[in-house]
Chains A and B, each alone.
Chain A
Amino acid sequence: MSATLRHVGWVLRGNPVTALAAAGATALVLLAAFAPWIMPYDPIASNVPKALQPPSWDHWAGTDQLGRDIFSRLLAAARLDLAIAASAVSLSFVVGAVIGAWCGYTGGAVDRAVGRVVDVLMAFPLFVLAMAMVAALGNRVENIILATAIINLPFYIRFARAEVNIRRDLGWVEAARACGDSHLSVVLRFLLPNVLPAMAVQISLNLGWAILNAAGLSFIGLGVTAPTPEWGIMVAEGARFITTGKWWLVAMPGLALMLTVLCFNLLGDGLRDMLDPRMRT
């Protein structure tokens, strides 16, 4: 255990960018967690006479079309965006890992059937699939999560399936089976834990991607509905003001979005380096 920690420490020291990303991600999660206590204003209460004011001491990030404080909205949005990304990714991760592992272990007809479904999903243009699903189910938060999870699912299934498939005939798995463990228990207790770390790297990368996906949906009008603060919709609304010189409307949420995705992506990269010795020269 301490060897692992030491290894992590060594990697972080050798890779300052990853260390920074880890710190950033932590700070972000903390900010989101304590947002209700940090927010200087109510993120939803309008104050139309103070609409569209540039950043100032009273409003660090300026105000929007309804005179709402953008800084407070950014904090409130951090909660929602992280929640959307985290639930979407964990949903596809859990479901994908279980289905993939089972297919990889048992093979046969079930495996082939699942494989066909995955083929169909993979052949879809993903963003359009997400758009169609949200349009069909209604643009609520839970549907955006579901759509994001489904378009991620094939990758997790394939990944888990492949990893389990190479391991299922290895000696220690045979040994477990010989000891009388049921198939279910072999998969859950021996195979999955071995596959999870590699998959965990994907999670971090996917978190950033899920946030961007939600932002893209907002841009074409299929995102979260007002007045809920969400970065994507704030960026999309702010983008309308780019030519009018009211830069803070797009720059502030854009920066928040970018930094968050950056942290998660760099973190994911770093984690991959840690886990994959071949890439860690």
Chain B
Amino acid sequence: MRIGRRGGLRGLAGAAALAAMPRDAGAQTRAETLRQVTGNTINTLDLTMPGATRESFGIGMQVYDRLVAFGKKPVLGGFSFDHTNIRGELAESYTVSPDGTRFTFRIRRDSKWHDGTPVTAEDVKWSLDRHVSANSLAKSQLQISNWVSPDQFRILDPMTVEAVLAKPDRRGLMNLCVPYVIMINSTLAKKHATADDPWAQQWMKENTAGGGAYTVESNRPGEQLILRRNDAWKNGPEGKLPFFRRIIAQTVPEAATRASLVERGDADLSIDLLASDVPALQQRGRVKIFSTPIANGFTHIAFNTRMAPFDNVKVRQAIGAAMPYEDMFQASIFGRGRKLYGGNWSELPPDASFPRPMPQHTDLARAKRLLTEAGFADGFRTTFSFSAGQAAAMEPLAALVKEALARIGIQVELQKMPDAQFNTAQAEKRLPMFVDGATAWLPETDYYVRLYFTRDQRWNFSNYNNPEINALTEAAQFELDPVKYEAMCRRMVGILAQEMPELFLWQPNFEAVMARNLEGFTYQYYRQIDFRDLSRA
């Protein structure tokens, strides 16, 4: 009896040894492995799936290639993406017709998918068709630049694909670089397509069919995901392979722990530490910190411009003059960012760039006067909301807002809401006044304004409707003449400064805290890490 049990045990152990993950035979040293720690999770391998987290976008960039990609430009301490410089990725080269409506992509001759099969024009066409047809995040993204139908994509020869727009669009090509527009191994994906799911969306949530720089070695959702380098990858700049052979992206919910891990050298990189930790880490000097203002985003206080009393522009201006901007900037993000208040202009901005410092200044006397003119000499009661997930930065800010508005007679009740509730109330336009952050992937002035200040849609935070802005954004999208475009954009920004549907506060720093020997960090507009750029000295 006893012997039998022991034998059984041994059998079990043997089975377990087989089931366990294969040992790496020491092929990859610690130096060639990068360990990233993050507070969030990767919830799908198909980043176009509705509900995909931002971390999933980051992984999707490594596993899949796009036809074209943004270049990069040097900034202090590293690099930043450059959307004005577009290179071929899976496409060896591309041409644009003189009228700006026809794009021709030549696929790299020797490109292979992860399974070793060659990349063909069929694959590219199928991928683009999927993005404009299937119900996914790619579909709405591509609509922005009027990529709406499979008819717009044609196979010219086995290695060439043409994409055609009805009208020239400023963002026609740019939009093909965004994370969603992945190129898929269509032969593999089609094997897993069903009648209900012709685009294999179910299968691709858990499996990959790409040809990018990395493959997924293992995935434990909510814990860790491990990437392995695809040594056959040739689509990088100058065809170079990424430095790291293996990437571990691990979920560590506690921010203080993430900071300690990087500082002690157990982890290599984290991009979501608390603003309060970064100055201390910098002071102790055991890590390298890459800081750059999130150039394609802004933190803002939004008013519901269709809800009394915020439908009154004077009330918004009064609040704009009552804010203690400097104190908020220090207390909320420890001064780590670029200010978007205190702009030294009125009526029209000096150039078309946006986000930019707006002419908002702290002036209590003016605030009181404006409020009296608006008919609220005795103030009023309202609420100010922020999401619990951003509480570290927003709670101190909210306390200052409450204190400042009390000085001009406005009684504010603060509401800290769990993230899902906050987002729901925000989307349903039920909040009178709140603070939040926003980023746009394609950082062009008219795109910001169109995305955040027009139409009845989720991202029109301030529920804003201004006929002139609407008309300007409609026209600017198709305006290729730089002089006319600039005039339009300056007008839009001028209106926003005057009307104050939102108060612009700052661009917080994107802070990547990393081991001192890491090099080549590039800030990306989707605020994730492009592991392909990194190396260890």
Contact = CB atoms under 8 A, between A and B. Distances in A.
Contacts of B402: 227
B399 A221 contact: no
B415 A225 contact: yes
Interface in B304-329: 324, 326-327
A237 B395 contact: yes
Given A135-B421, A221-B389, A244 B280 contact: yes
Interface residues of B, number: 32
B49 interface: no
A196 interface: no
A240 B255 contact: yes
A242 B416 contact: no
Interface in B410-437: 414-418, 421
A237 B392 CA distance: 8
B444 interface: no
A56 B255 CA distance: 29
A240 B276 contact: yes
A227 B418 CA distance: 17
Given A240-B276, A244-B276, A65 B331 contact: yes
Contacts of A221: 388-389, 391, 416, 418
Nearest to B394: A226
B236 interface: no
Main secondary structure of the interface of A (DSSP, over half): loop
A97 to B, nearest CB: 34
A48 interface: yes
B327 A226 contact: no
Nearest to B402: A227
Of listed B256, B259, B392, B396, residue having the most chain A CB within 10 A: B396
A45 to B, nearest CB: 7
A74 interface: no
Contact of B416 (A51, A66, A226): A226
Nearest to B278: A244
A46 B398 CA distance: 12
A45 B260 contact: no
B399 A226 contact: yes
A244 B260 CA distance: 10
A45 B400 CA distance: 9
B277 A243 contact: yes
Interface string B393-408: 0011011101100000
Interface in A188-213: none
Contacts of B416: 139, 221, 225-226
Contacts of B418: 135, 221-222
B133 interface: no
A220 to B, nearest CB: 8
A133 interface: no
A245 interface: yes
B264 to A, nearest CB: 11
Contacts of A67: 331
Nearest to A244: B280
Interface string A127-158: 00000000100110000000000000000000
Nearest to A51: B331
Nearest to A227: B399
A147 B280 CA distance: 38
Contact of A46 (B255, B327, B395): B327
B330 A51 contact: yes
B259 A226 contact: no
Nearest to A241: B276
Given A66-B396, A244-B277, 7 more contacts: A46-B403, A48-B330, A138-B415, A226-B414, A226-B416, A243-B277, A244-B280
22 contacts: A44-B399, A48-B324, A51-B330, A65-B331, A66-B331, A66-B399, A66-B400, A138-B415, A139-B417, A221-B416, A222-B418, A225-B414, A225-B415, A226-B398, A226-B414, A227-B402, A227-B403, A227-B414, A243-B256, A243-B263, A243-B277, A244-B276
Interface of B: 255-256, 259-260, 263, 274, 276-277, 279-280, 324, 326-327, 330-331, 388-389, 391-392, 395-396, 398-400, 402-403, 414-418, 421
